[in-house]
């Protein structure tokens, strides 16, 4: 598995569509939210929606990357990087939202994808990264910890216990 992070583009339309079709068909919640912000069937609008360059209200600038497996020519997941935290993201959301398509889980994809996202955070000048996951999402917690995540606390958000991890990049 040779993984790289790529921006959404027509070059990857087929692979993105296949991933989104699989995820939609599974009935699971698609994460990160940024890859379901717009309907992927309208690909031009979808591509425009992947980055929040001029945030309105309490939104922040963000960047979305797809995790591409060059060996198999498939998109295996996605990450969304928020360039800064507002009060809502500080509580629940953090700097990085990530998700692995259903058929690619338990293969180490999330751990590698987070490592690459942390490098993007370094390039953005982010020195300390917050990642948040549901307490019952053991796989996500393990991927965060393997990338240096240190549990700060657990909080309840809308009836769900969330774990908040910090990763120092300096």
Supply the pTM of this predicted model: 0.94
**Structural domain count of the chain:** 1
* 50 falls within a domain: yes
Is residue 136's pLDDT more than 80?
A: yes
Is residue 52's pLDDT more than 90?
A: no
* 131 falls within a domain: no
Cα dihedral 1/119/13/94 (nearest 10): 110
Kindly indicate the confidence band of residue 99, based on its pLDDT and cuts at 50, 70 and 90. very high
* 167 falls within a domain: no
* 23 falls within a domain: yes
CATH for 28 = 3.40.630.30
pLDDT tens-digit profile of 150-159? 999 999 989 9
């Amino acid at each position: 598995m040779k993984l790289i992070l790529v921006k959404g583009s027509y070059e990857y339309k087929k692979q993105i569509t296949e991933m989104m079709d699989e995820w939609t068909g599974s009935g699971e919640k698609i994460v990160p939210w940024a890859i379901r912000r717009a309907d992927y069937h309208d690909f031009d609008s979808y591509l425009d929606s992947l980055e929040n360059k001029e945030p309105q209200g309490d939104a922040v600038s963000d960047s979305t990357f797809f995790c591409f497996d060059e060996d198999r020519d498939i998109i295996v997941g996605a990450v969304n990087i928020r360039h800064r935290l507002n009060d809502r993201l500080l509580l629940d959301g953090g700097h990085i939202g990530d998700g692995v398509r259903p058929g690619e889980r338990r293969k180490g994809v999330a751990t590698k994808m987070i490592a690459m996202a942390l490098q993007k955070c370094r390039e953005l000048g982010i020195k300390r990264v917050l990642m948040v996951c549901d307490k019952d999402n053991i796989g996500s917690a393990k991927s965060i910890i393997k990338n240096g995540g240190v549990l700060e606390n657990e909080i309840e958000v809308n009836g769900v216990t969330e774990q908040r991890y910090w990763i120092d990049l300096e």
